[in-house]
Chain A
Amino acid sequence: GAVVSQHPSRVICKSGTSVKIECRSLDFQATTMFWYRQFPKQSLMLMATSNEGSKATYEQGVEKDKFLINHASLTLSTLTVTSAHPEDSSFYICSARDDRTGGVQPQHFGDGTRLSIL
């Protein structure tokens, strides 16, 4: 149980394109999901906390207008990288917290999306 599906797994597109990444909790409800960014051989940097039915909470230094987050249902959060440029190329990972277990339990991670902007 506790499976998180992230799609697509890989995106290669031209500069200026907007890219949408989906994060779905398949067998549990998740009021709260998290979006991370990871550069090669580095750790995960939290970008934002996504909350169903309300605005996302962004970490300091993360551009809200650049990284649009929508959490329209209890099983789906989306991250849209708007007008992507080569510097946005990275590995993006989402995670979800199972509503049944509460905040102190582990997060469940998707398999990540490798975004390459040409």
Chain B
Amino acid sequence: SQQGEEDPQALSIQEGENATMNCSYKTSINNLQWYRQNSGRGLVHLILIRSNEREKHSGRLRVTLDTSKKSSSLLITASRAADTASYFCATAISGGYNKLIFGAGTRLAVHP
């Protein structure tokens, strides 16, 4: 079953604006990962944040993790039209093969 939920389901912004996506999950995790998917393609890994980390940056991306609230957020600053895609959070579950459970995703549209 799905691990968590993301909001908003869809986000439409203008180039240059910031985009914030939120993710919630239900169980204990080893880490939380964010992926991007262009339409009809596979997923590309963006950033991984471990359960003992609270914030991480990579270029224009900023991810936060609040394990007490079981939530994470992805901020994309100074968005570009090329950022248009679906964004998914995924939690790596403890034990087993560290399989990933994906959230519902946010469809981001950045307009020129």
Contacts and interface: CB of A to CB of B under 8 A. Distances in A.
A7 to B, nearest CB: 12
Contacts of B2: 43, 45
Contacts, number: 66
Nearest to A9: B40
A48 B98 CA distance: 13
B interface residue count range (under 10 / 10 to 19 / 20 to 34 / 35 or more): 20 to 34
A2 B97 CA distance: 19
Interface residues of A, number: 29
B109 interface: no
A42 B42 contact: no
Contacts of B45: 106-109
Contacts of A72: none
A34 B40 contact: no
22 contacts: A6-B42, A32-B97, A41-B107, A44-B43, A44-B88, A45-B2, A46-B99, A46-B101, A51-B97, A57-B96, A57-B97, A93-B42, A95-B43, A103-B97, A104-B31, A106-B48, A107-B45, A109-B35, A109-B42, A111-B41, A112-B40, A112-B41
